[in-house]
Structure 1
Amino acid sequence: MHIDETGKGVSKIGKHGTEDLVWDDIRAFLAVARAGTLSGAVQQMEVGIATVSRRIERLEAAVGHPLFARHQSGYRLTEDGAALIPRAEEMEASALALTSGLGRDTAVSGVVRLATAENLATGLILPALGRLRADYPLLSLEIVTDVATVNLHRRDADIALRMVKPDRGNVSLQRLGRLGFGLYGAPAYMATRPAPADASRFDQDALIGWTDAYAHLPAAQWVERVLKGRAPALATTSLATQLTACATGLGLAILPHFLARPRGLVCLDGDLGLDQTIWLVTHSDLLQTRRVRAVADFLRALVEDRRGDLSG
């Protein structure tokens, strides 16, 4: 990238190699790509919607391809738009490095889309999110909890904290810790529970399990084995529902230690063989962007601080 006579960054990355792209157009492109809407981009750039729209149209004319598919719900990257993202972010990184070198403030800003499990979002990340907001007030975080449908390689998210290790895609992996699980019951349930002759048997227990759509989960398979053909007392589609059901005394449930213990639940077995690795997954093209690094550092520190609670 070089700086033109107006002081705006330009770079020859057009389709034909001859179009000078204005840096403000690239900024608008990245803002819309991250926000998904013109109004969201406006909030990041502090310019009018007409200005952002004009810059996107100018950039599309320069590269010779539509970069977004316009939908009623917002803007979605086309294949050409997605291909342009890494190169545009290289320009962004160069611009940030330049202003940093000039000693000017390069505050972390923009939108980071984080994919994670519902239980990690509500029980781990959200209670500590004030720390991230205090350090980076210009940073906006989007948390996506339907992780089963999120693909970082497709750029559905920028970064993820999850228990399933991706086996493909242009991503970087880091093992942060372990999420421990145990079999828990409420004190009220335990007070009336028939004492089994064998502590490892649960023939007379009410068990809370998962619906058939989640039968592939290790916890669901464990419950299925223990039930031996019996129906569960309750089957749900979320861990949050199981936690509440267990706390109200409806039966035994397999729960993460860090969620069950603060609720005063009693652990019958803390070594079920169901513990999971916590992975930090980052799109490789975004590893060096300041906003994603800030979120990654926050997540690493958070898991480290809560390591004992998470592993149990």
Structure 2
Amino acid sequence: MSNHLQWDDARVFLALARTGTLTRAAKQLGVGTATMIRRLDRLESALGVRLFSRHQNGYFLTDEGQSLLNRAEGLEQAGQAFGAAPMHEVAGHVRLATAENLADPFIIPALEPLYEMHPDLTLELITGTQTVNLHRRDADLAVRMVKPTQGNVTLRTIGTLGFGLYGSSSYLAERKIKSASFVQDSDSLIGWVETSSHLPSAQWIIRALAGRPPKLMTSSLSSQLAAAVAGMGLAVLPHFLARRHGLQCLVAELGVNQQIWLVMHSDLVHSRRIRVVADFLIALFEKNADELTYAKP
């Protein structure tokens, strides 16, 4: 592959690599999709390689495209340093995959200072239940509750999510032994559907039920929380979520706490835009470590 890469070419390449579609890349650069196609074809012809594989749902970097990424981002950083923007500002698009129960109540409310420091930074939060593949560049980095065991990724723990057994004050007031800090045979428990039975919290509920059926089974943490708030029974929930919804803790230590992992594609570790978001997440989770881990921070 040729080493000749101009800044204008790098802008086209980076916009498409980060957004994944011609339409969004063209909008980011303020050009038409036809111009994007023409400039991309010119770049690939000049380099003599195919940089993207074209699919119905978007453009994905080939191995050759991945190898060009750091060089293109180096040109971008040099351009930013040479321009009028202060060096501490970072521009670009970052895709972060995480669980909805972390994104909505915890990460999103804390984003404003990040945007104030980097007004040209844009963030895309992916919180669906679909599998997100960092190697395929479905996202640039991820906050996960399960440690990845394969792929070209760099990872570190950034915290612990603590779980306890919770119920509403109305439910606890109706229990046969109101002060008992254990599961009674008469207790209604909120469990998980079979496809989620591998989760540590689901396993704890199964053991506590001892063969009895749960009062309700759900497929998401948000619905578990809603059921507990509605007084339908006891649920294993993250301390910080249960506390924010006024639930009462019955058992604070269940042995099902989960480590929180920050994962990023190894090729992006030195990217300034990725590093800025990663550092923000690390600081956020460290600052709120007690709230996330313990029943009474």
- TM-score normalised by length of structure 2: 0.90
Instruction: Give 1:77's aligned residue.
Output: 60
Q: Note if contact 2:16-2:22 (Cα within 8 Å) is conserved in structure 1.
A: yes
Q: After superposition, what is the alpha-carbon deviation per residue over 1:16-50, rounded to whole angstroms, capped at 9, x for unaligned? A: x7xx4433223212211211112211232223322
The alpha-carbon deviation at position 140 of structure 1 amounts to: 1.4
Tell me whether 1:27 sits opposite 2:14 in the alignment. Answer: no
* Structure 1 stretch displaced more, 125-134 or 243-252: 125-134
Alpha-carbon distance between aligned partners in 2 of 1:82 and 1:44, rounded to the nearest angstrom = 24
The alpha-carbon deviation at position 63 of structure 1 amounts to: 3.4
Tell me whether 1:304 sits opposite 2:251 in the alignment. Answer: no
Tell me whether 1:96 sits opposite 2:86 in the alignment. Answer: no
Q: Note if contact 1:196-1:202 (Cα within 8 Å) is conserved in structure 2.
A: no
SS of 1:172 mapped into structure 2: strand
The alpha-carbon deviation at position 122 of structure 1 amounts to: 1.1
Alpha-carbon distance between aligned partners in 2 of 1:119 and 1:285, rounded to the nearest angstrom = 28
SS of 2:270 mapped into structure 1: coil
Alpha-carbon distance between aligned partners in 1 of 2:207 and 2:285, rounded to the nearest angstrom = 32
Instruction: Give 1:38's aligned residue.
Output: 22
Alpha-carbon distance between aligned partners in 2 of 1:253 and 1:285, rounded to the nearest angstrom = 40
SS of 1:149 mapped into structure 2: coil
Instruction: Give 2:270's aligned residue.
Output: 288
Q: After superposition, what is the alpha-carbon deviation per residue over 1:122-154, rounded to whole angstroms, capped at 9, x for unaligned? A: 121111122222222211111112466112222
Code of the residue aligned with 1:87 in structure 2: it is L
SS of 2:111 mapped into structure 1: helix
Identify unmatched segments of 5+ residues in structure 2: none
- Compared with structure 1, are the counterparts of its residues 137 and 285 closer, same or farther at alpha carbon in structure 2 (3 Å cutoff)? same
Aligned-residue sequence identity (percent) comes to 51
SS of 2:106 mapped into structure 1: helix
Alpha-carbon distance between aligned partners in 2 of 1:270 and 1:117, rounded to the nearest angstrom = 22
- TM-score normalised by length of structure 1: 0.86
Alpha-carbon distance between aligned partners in 1 of 2:95 and 2:18, rounded to the nearest angstrom = 8
Instruction: Give 1:188's aligned residue.
Output: 170
Tell me whether 1:128 sits opposite 2:110 in the alignment. Answer: yes
Alpha-carbon distance between aligned partners in 2 of 1:157 and 1:203, rounded to the nearest angstrom = 45
Q: Note if contact 2:162-2:256 (Cα within 8 Å) is conserved in structure 1.
A: yes
Instruction: Select 1:259's aligned residue among 241, 249, 257.
Output: 241
The alpha-carbon deviation at position 76 of structure 1 amounts to: 2.2
CA RMSD, 1 decimal: 2.1
Instruction: Give 2:230's aligned residue.
Output: 248
Q: Note if contact 1:60-1:66 (Cα within 8 Å) is conserved in structure 2.
A: yes
Q: Note if contact 2:19-2:25 (Cα within 8 Å) is conserved in structure 1.
A: yes
Q: Which has the higher contact order (CA 8 A, sep 6+)?
A: 2
Q: Note if contact 1:115-1:147 (Cα within 8 Å) is conserved in structure 2.
A: no
Identify unmatched segments of 5+ residues in structure 1: 1-12
Code of the residue aligned with 1:188 in structure 2: it is S
Q: Runs of 4 or more off by more than 6 Å in structure 1?
A: none
Tell me whether 1:119 sits opposite 2:93 in the alignment. Answer: no
Instruction: Give 1:6's aligned residue.
Output: none
Alpha-carbon distance between aligned partners in 2 of 1:303 and 1:37, rounded to the nearest angstrom = 32
Instruction: Give 1:53's aligned residue.
Output: 37
Alpha-carbon distance between aligned partners in 2 of 1:108 and 1:91, rounded to the nearest angstrom = 15
Tell me whether 1:153 sits opposite 2:135 in the alignment. Answer: yes
* Structure 1 stretch displaced more, 125-134 or 195-204: 195-204
